Amino acid sequence: MAVSNPGPGVLHVVATPIGNLGDLSPRALAVLRAVAAICAEDTRHTRQLLAHFGVERPLLALHQHNEDAAAAPLVARLLAGEDLALVSDAGTPLVSDPGFRLVRAARAAGVKVSPVPGACAFVAALSVAGLPSDRFVFEGFLPAKSAARRERLAALAGEARTLAFYESSHRILGTLEDMRDVFGAERPAVLARELTKLFETVLDGDLATLCARVAADADQRRGEFVVLVQGVGEDADARVAEGRRIYAALSVHLPPSTAARVAAELSGAPRKALYGSGAGDAGERAGDAGEA
Ligand code: SAM
Protein backbone atom coordinates (compact mmCIF):
# COMPACT_ATOMS: atom_id res chain seq x y z
CA MET A 1 0.00 0.00 0.00
CA ALA A 2 1.36 3.45 -0.92
CA VAL A 3 2.24 5.66 2.02
CA SER A 4 1.77 9.36 1.37
CA ASN A 5 4.55 11.67 2.47
CA PRO A 6 3.25 13.18 5.68
CA GLY A 7 5.47 16.29 5.50
CA PRO A 8 6.85 17.87 8.68
CA GLY A 9 4.98 17.24 11.89
CA VAL A 10 3.61 19.88 14.24
CA LEU A 11 5.05 20.94 17.59
CA HIS A 12 2.04 21.53 19.86
CA VAL A 13 2.81 23.78 22.84
CA VAL A 14 0.27 22.63 25.41
CA ALA A 15 -0.68 24.46 28.62
CA THR A 16 -1.43 22.25 31.63
CA PRO A 17 -3.21 23.16 34.90
CA ILE A 18 -1.58 25.33 37.60
CA GLY A 19 -3.45 23.40 40.30
CA ASN A 20 -6.98 22.34 39.46
CA LEU A 21 -6.83 19.40 37.04
CA GLY A 22 -10.23 20.41 35.68
CA ASP A 23 -8.40 23.22 33.88
CA LEU A 24 -6.81 20.85 31.36
CA SER A 25 -8.82 21.59 28.22
CA PRO A 26 -10.50 18.87 26.14
CA ARG A 27 -8.37 19.95 23.18
CA ALA A 28 -5.16 19.69 25.24
CA LEU A 29 -6.16 16.15 26.18
CA ALA A 30 -6.94 15.22 22.58
CA VAL A 31 -3.58 16.59 21.39
CA LEU A 32 -1.66 14.82 24.17
CA ARG A 33 -3.38 11.54 23.22
CA ALA A 34 -2.59 11.99 19.51
CA VAL A 35 1.09 12.99 19.43
CA ALA A 36 4.00 10.59 18.91
CA ALA A 37 5.72 11.80 22.09
CA ILE A 38 5.48 14.49 24.77
CA CYS A 39 8.47 16.66 25.73
CA ALA A 40 8.20 17.35 29.45
CA GLU A 41 10.17 19.42 31.94
CA ASP A 42 9.94 16.73 34.63
CA THR A 43 8.85 13.39 33.17
CA ARG A 44 7.82 11.95 36.54
CA HIS A 45 5.56 14.91 37.24
CA THR A 46 3.99 14.79 33.77
CA ARG A 47 3.57 11.01 33.96
CA GLN A 48 1.35 11.53 37.01
CA LEU A 49 -0.74 14.11 35.20
CA LEU A 50 -1.12 11.84 32.16
CA ALA A 51 -1.95 8.84 34.33
CA HIS A 52 -4.78 10.83 35.91
CA PHE A 53 -6.28 11.28 32.43
CA GLY A 54 -5.42 7.79 31.18
CA VAL A 55 -3.00 9.11 28.53
CA GLU A 56 -0.13 6.78 27.62
CA ARG A 57 2.43 8.43 25.37
CA PRO A 58 6.23 8.29 25.42
CA LEU A 59 7.82 11.10 27.44
CA LEU A 60 11.04 12.89 26.54
CA ALA A 61 12.91 15.08 29.04
CA LEU A 62 13.31 18.70 28.03
CA HIS A 63 14.57 20.92 30.81
CA GLN A 64 16.82 23.94 31.21
CA HIS A 65 19.95 21.79 31.48
CA ASN A 66 19.48 19.74 28.28
CA GLU A 67 17.37 21.99 26.07
CA ASP A 68 20.21 23.13 23.80
CA ALA A 69 21.33 19.55 23.14
CA ALA A 70 17.81 18.08 22.96
CA ALA A 71 16.40 20.60 20.47
CA ALA A 72 18.21 19.32 17.35
CA PRO A 73 17.11 15.66 17.58
CA LEU A 74 13.55 16.76 18.40
CA VAL A 75 13.48 19.04 15.34
CA ALA A 76 14.77 16.10 13.26
CA ARG A 77 11.83 13.99 14.45
CA LEU A 78 9.42 16.81 13.61
CA LEU A 79 10.96 17.19 10.14
CA ALA A 80 10.56 13.44 9.66
CA GLY A 81 6.81 13.86 10.13
CA GLU A 82 6.20 13.15 13.81
CA ASP A 83 3.84 15.36 15.80
CA LEU A 84 5.20 16.24 19.25
CA ALA A 85 3.80 18.07 22.26
CA LEU A 86 5.67 20.31 24.66
CA VAL A 87 4.44 20.70 28.24
CA SER A 88 5.95 22.09 31.43
CA ASP A 89 5.23 21.12 35.04
CA ALA A 90 2.41 23.63 35.31
CA GLY A 91 0.77 26.31 33.20
CA THR A 92 2.03 27.58 29.88
CA PRO A 93 5.41 26.35 28.60
CA LEU A 94 8.03 29.08 27.99
CA VAL A 95 6.47 31.34 30.68
CA SER A 96 9.24 31.11 33.32
CA ASP A 97 9.64 27.54 32.01
CA PRO A 98 11.74 25.74 29.38
CA GLY A 99 10.85 25.55 25.70
CA PHE A 100 12.09 28.76 24.10
CA ARG A 101 15.10 27.12 22.44
CA LEU A 102 13.09 24.20 21.07
CA VAL A 103 10.38 26.52 19.72
CA ARG A 104 12.99 28.79 18.13
CA ALA A 105 14.80 25.82 16.54
CA ALA A 106 11.54 24.32 15.24
CA ARG A 107 10.43 27.60 13.71
CA ALA A 108 13.86 28.16 12.16
CA ALA A 109 13.55 24.72 10.53
CA GLY A 110 10.15 25.63 9.07
CA VAL A 111 8.19 23.38 11.44
CA LYS A 112 4.69 24.53 12.40
CA VAL A 113 4.47 25.39 16.11
CA SER A 114 0.88 25.53 17.34
CA PRO A 115 -0.39 26.64 20.78
CA VAL A 116 -2.96 24.85 22.89
CA PRO A 117 -3.58 27.70 25.35
CA GLY A 118 -4.69 27.30 28.92
CA ALA A 119 -3.68 28.18 32.45
CA CYS A 120 -0.98 30.72 33.19
CA ALA A 121 -0.48 31.82 36.79
CA PHE A 122 0.21 35.52 36.26
CA VAL A 123 -2.68 35.92 33.79
CA ALA A 124 -4.99 34.17 36.26
CA ALA A 125 -3.77 36.53 39.02
CA LEU A 126 -4.19 39.60 36.84
CA SER A 127 -7.74 38.55 35.99
CA VAL A 128 -8.83 38.69 39.65
CA ALA A 129 -6.53 41.39 41.10
CA GLY A 130 -8.50 44.52 40.31
CA LEU A 131 -5.31 46.35 39.35
CA PRO A 132 -4.97 48.22 36.03
CA SER A 133 -4.60 45.46 33.47
CA ASP A 134 -4.67 47.05 30.04
CA ARG A 135 -0.88 47.35 30.14
CA PHE A 136 1.41 45.26 32.32
CA VAL A 137 4.95 43.93 32.57
CA PHE A 138 5.72 40.31 33.38
CA GLU A 139 9.01 40.12 35.29
CA GLY A 140 8.92 36.45 36.31
CA PHE A 141 11.24 35.52 39.18
CA LEU A 142 13.37 38.18 40.86
CA PRO A 143 16.96 37.37 41.89
CA ALA A 144 17.14 35.12 44.95
CA LYS A 145 19.58 37.31 46.93
CA SER A 146 18.21 40.48 48.49
CA ALA A 147 20.92 42.85 47.21
CA ALA A 148 20.42 41.82 43.58
CA ARG A 149 16.65 41.78 44.08
CA ARG A 150 16.63 45.34 45.40
CA GLU A 151 18.76 46.44 42.49
CA ARG A 152 16.28 44.91 40.03
CA LEU A 153 13.34 46.44 41.90
CA ALA A 154 15.03 49.85 41.89
CA ALA A 155 15.27 49.64 38.09
CA LEU A 156 11.49 49.03 38.01
CA ALA A 157 10.49 51.66 40.57
CA GLY A 158 9.40 54.21 37.96
CA GLU A 159 7.45 51.73 35.82
CA ALA A 160 3.93 53.00 35.07
CA ARG A 161 2.50 49.62 34.09
CA THR A 162 1.31 46.96 36.53
CA LEU A 163 4.20 44.65 37.43
CA ALA A 164 3.80 40.86 37.67
CA PHE A 165 6.27 38.63 39.55
CA TYR A 166 6.51 34.96 40.46
CA GLU A 167 7.75 33.97 43.90
CA SER A 168 8.23 30.86 46.00
CA SER A 169 7.20 30.26 49.60
CA HIS A 170 10.64 30.59 51.18
CA ARG A 171 11.29 34.01 49.62
CA ILE A 172 7.85 35.59 49.62
CA LEU A 173 8.26 37.61 52.82
CA GLY A 174 11.74 38.87 51.94
CA THR A 175 10.57 39.85 48.48
CA LEU A 176 7.52 41.71 49.79
CA GLU A 177 9.72 43.56 52.31
CA ASP A 178 12.16 44.55 49.58
CA MET A 179 9.24 45.75 47.45
CA ARG A 180 7.89 47.80 50.35
CA ASP A 181 11.29 49.39 50.93
CA VAL A 182 12.03 50.10 47.25
CA PHE A 183 8.56 50.90 45.83
CA GLY A 184 7.22 52.55 49.00
CA ALA A 185 4.96 51.34 51.79
CA GLU A 186 1.82 52.76 50.18
CA ARG A 187 2.13 51.24 46.73
CA PRO A 188 -1.00 49.12 46.00
CA ALA A 189 -0.30 45.43 45.37
CA VAL A 190 -2.00 42.05 45.22
CA LEU A 191 -0.70 38.73 46.49
CA ALA A 192 -2.26 35.74 44.70
CA ARG A 193 -1.51 32.42 46.41
CA GLU A 194 -2.32 28.86 45.39
CA LEU A 195 -4.60 29.90 42.55
CA THR A 196 -7.19 27.25 41.55
CA LYS A 197 -6.15 25.13 44.57
CA LEU A 198 -7.75 24.40 47.92
CA PHE A 199 -6.07 27.28 49.76
CA GLU A 200 -6.45 29.89 47.04
CA THR A 201 -6.07 33.34 48.60
CA VAL A 202 -5.97 36.74 46.94
CA LEU A 203 -4.89 39.52 49.30
CA ASP A 204 -4.88 43.17 48.34
CA GLY A 205 -3.68 46.31 50.04
CA ASP A 206 -0.61 48.47 50.09
CA LEU A 207 2.81 46.83 50.36
CA ALA A 208 3.16 47.62 54.07
CA THR A 209 -0.18 45.94 54.83
CA LEU A 210 0.67 42.88 52.74
CA CYS A 211 4.06 42.53 54.47
CA ALA A 212 2.40 42.68 57.87
CA ARG A 213 -0.26 40.07 56.90
CA VAL A 214 2.31 37.65 55.53
CA ALA A 215 4.72 38.18 58.45
CA ALA A 216 1.96 37.56 60.99
CA ASP A 217 0.50 34.38 59.47
CA ALA A 218 2.71 31.43 58.47
CA ASP A 219 -0.13 30.03 56.36
CA GLN A 220 0.17 33.07 54.10
CA ARG A 221 3.77 32.05 53.34
CA ARG A 222 2.84 28.55 52.10
CA GLY A 223 2.39 27.55 48.49
CA GLU A 224 2.98 29.31 45.18
CA PHE A 225 2.65 33.04 44.64
CA VAL A 226 2.08 35.70 42.05
CA VAL A 227 2.82 39.24 43.25
CA LEU A 228 1.24 42.09 41.29
CA VAL A 229 2.28 45.67 42.00
CA GLN A 230 0.47 48.68 40.65
CA GLY A 231 2.61 50.89 38.45
CA VAL A 232 3.61 54.35 39.55
CA GLY A 233 1.27 57.11 38.39
CA GLU A 234 -1.55 54.77 37.35
CA ASP A 235 -3.97 57.01 39.24
CA ALA A 236 -2.95 59.92 37.01
CA ASP A 237 -3.47 57.72 33.95
CA ALA A 238 -6.93 56.79 35.19
CA ARG A 239 -7.83 60.48 35.62
CA VAL A 240 -6.75 61.24 32.05
CA ALA A 241 -8.72 58.26 30.75
CA GLU A 242 -11.81 59.42 32.61
CA GLY A 243 -11.28 63.02 31.43
CA ARG A 244 -11.05 61.86 27.82
CA ARG A 245 -14.26 59.91 28.15
CA ILE A 246 -16.06 62.99 29.49
CA TYR A 247 -14.45 65.22 26.86
CA ALA A 248 -15.56 62.85 24.07
CA ALA A 249 -19.16 63.04 25.26
CA LEU A 250 -19.19 66.81 25.84
CA SER A 251 -17.39 67.81 22.65
CA VAL A 252 -20.35 66.58 20.60
CA HIS A 253 -22.42 69.42 22.12
CA LEU A 254 -19.90 72.05 23.27
CA PRO A 255 -16.97 73.93 21.72
CA PRO A 256 -13.69 71.97 22.31
CA SER A 257 -12.23 74.51 24.75
CA THR A 258 -15.37 74.45 26.94
CA ALA A 259 -15.59 70.65 26.75
CA ALA A 260 -11.93 70.35 27.79
CA ARG A 261 -12.36 72.80 30.70
CA VAL A 262 -15.45 71.01 32.07
CA ALA A 263 -13.92 67.54 31.54
CA ALA A 264 -10.75 68.66 33.34
CA GLU A 265 -12.75 70.00 36.27
CA LEU A 266 -14.83 66.83 36.57
CA SER A 267 -11.97 64.34 36.19
CA GLY A 268 -9.04 66.16 37.77
CA ALA A 269 -6.93 65.54 34.64
CA PRO A 270 -4.89 68.39 33.11
CA ARG A 271 -6.88 70.28 30.46
CA LYS A 272 -4.14 70.03 27.84
CA ALA A 273 -4.20 66.22 28.06
CA LEU A 274 -7.87 66.33 27.05
CA TYR A 275 -8.18 69.19 24.58
CA GLY A 276 -8.42 67.86 21.01
CA SER A 277 -8.58 64.22 22.09
CA GLY A 278 -11.83 64.06 20.08
CA ALA A 279 -15.18 62.36 20.28
CA GLY A 280 -16.29 59.00 19.01
CA ASP A 281 -13.32 56.81 19.99
CA ALA A 282 -13.03 57.51 23.69
CA GLY A 283 -12.49 53.85 24.62
CA GLU A 284 -9.45 53.49 22.41
CA ARG A 285 -7.95 56.76 23.56
CA ALA A 286 -8.62 55.92 27.20
CA GLY A 287 -6.51 52.78 26.78
CA ASP A 288 -3.66 54.87 25.35
CA ALA A 289 -3.83 57.45 28.09
CA GLY A 290 -0.64 56.46 29.85
CA GLU A 291 1.41 56.77 26.67
CA ALA A 292 0.38 60.38 26.06
N1 SAM B 1 4.58 28.23 33.29
C2 SAM B 1 3.90 28.62 34.50
C3 SAM B 1 2.75 29.57 34.15
O4 SAM B 1 2.26 29.53 33.03
O5 SAM B 1 2.32 30.33 35.03
C6 SAM B 1 4.85 29.21 35.53
C7 SAM B 1 5.97 28.31 35.90
S8 SAM B 1 7.03 28.94 37.14
C9 SAM B 1 8.32 27.76 37.12
C10 SAM B 1 6.23 28.53 38.62
C11 SAM B 1 5.77 29.75 39.41
O12 SAM B 1 4.51 30.18 38.91
C13 SAM B 1 5.54 29.49 40.87
O14 SAM B 1 6.75 29.60 41.63
C15 SAM B 1 4.58 30.60 41.23
O16 SAM B 1 5.27 31.82 41.40
C17 SAM B 1 3.72 30.67 39.97
N18 SAM B 1 2.55 29.79 40.10
C19 SAM B 1 2.39 28.58 39.53
N20 SAM B 1 1.20 28.05 39.91
C21 SAM B 1 0.62 28.94 40.74
C22 SAM B 1 -0.60 28.98 41.46
N23 SAM B 1 -1.46 27.97 41.41
N24 SAM B 1 -0.87 30.08 42.21
C25 SAM B 1 -0.01 31.10 42.27
N26 SAM B 1 1.17 31.12 41.61
C27 SAM B 1 1.48 30.06 40.86
What pLDDT is attached to residue 147? 95
Asked whether the beta carbons of 121 and 76 are under 8 A apart, the reply is no
β-pair type (162-167, 136-141): parallel
**Is 189 a domain residue?**
yes
Our CA angle for 145, 151, 156, nearest 5°, is 125
Count of the separate structural domains present in the chain: 3
Residues of the chain with pLDDT under 50: 1-4, 279-292
The angle, 0 to 180 degrees and rounded to 10, between the axes of the packed helices 256-267 and 234-250 is: 140
What pLDDT is attached to residue 290? 32
Ligand 1 pocket test: pick from 226, 227, 228 the residue with the most ligand atoms within 8 Å of its Cβ.
226
Residue 99 CA to ligand 1 center (angstroms) comes to 16
Say if ligand 1 is within 6 A of residue 20 CB.
no
What pLDDT is attached to residue 128? 98
Same domain? For 135 and 221 the reply is: yes
Task: Output the domain CATH number for residue 24.
Answer: 3.40.1010.10
**Is 275 a domain residue?**
yes
Task: Output the domain CATH number for residue 196.
Answer: 3.30.950.10
As a whole number of angstroms, the distance between CA 244 and CA 267 comes to 9
**Is 115 a domain residue?**
yes
Domain of 260, in residue numbers: 238-291
Same domain? For 72 and 130 the reply is: no
The 10s digit of each residue's pLDDT in 18-37 is: 999 999 999 999 999 999 99
What is the pTM assigned to this prediction?
0.82
What pLDDT is attached to residue 280? 43
